[in-house]
Structure 1
Amino acid sequence: VDLAFSQEDLDFQQEIKLFLEEDYPADIKNKQDSGLPLNKKDIVRWQKILSKRGWFAINWPKKYGGSELSATKKYILQNCLAEANTPILVPFGVNMCGPVIYSFGTELQKKTHLP
């Protein structure tokens, strides 16, 4: 079994690191690194930044704002975010509510509650 990352995976890792250098807001990073609590505005702003890249709801279908990443790329993304000490994402809405809405919700519910 070859457990090494492919070149595509390594390129993705570099993409994430560059993204973090350029787009991780300094004020949020400073709070995280200092152990200060984030307010709701900080958390929502960070979630929106990730969402623009399709990296907030990584298990969701692309049509609902997800990225459909491979298991390896999910690992790489989550590892890079953790190494950079980014805010921990609250998974309940993303892992529980969202999938129920995009799988079984009406079109109005999808339009109202999904990105």
Structure 2
Amino acid sequence: MAEEELIELKFRLSDGTDIGPKKYSPTTTVGAIKELIFVQWPKDKENAPRTISDLKLINAGKILENNRTLAECRVPVGELPGGVTTMHVVVHPPLSDKNGEKQLADSPRKNRCSCSIL
């Protein structure tokens, strides 16, 4: 595979730290990328994902679907050849039961990360 065909990505965590950059094939799926992020997740982080399904990847303001490839998810507008694309990683564990929802609703609001894409 030619060098210029690879997509260089880095992944921005909610605290502003990054995983990467690293080059990936355009045929790599979002699910495979999530697996790599899960394995490389810094062990000292408080808000660590428990499973791969806890991770959400965001590119150009859209949550990426696991079965899509990087080529399908890329937004070519504004990208420079040879540049690094930054994707945001959000940890969002699914609520499994009604008790978890009640505890979440009753708990005081904590400061949470929010991203604004300008």
What band does the TM-score fall into relative to the shorter chain? under 0.3
Please give the TM-score of this superposition, normalised by the length of structure 2. 0.26
Query: Higher strand proportion, which one?
Result: 2
Query: Higher helix proportion, which one?
Result: 1
Please give the TM-score of this superposition, normalised by the length of structure 1. 0.27
Greater relative contact order (Cα < 8 A, sep 6+): 2
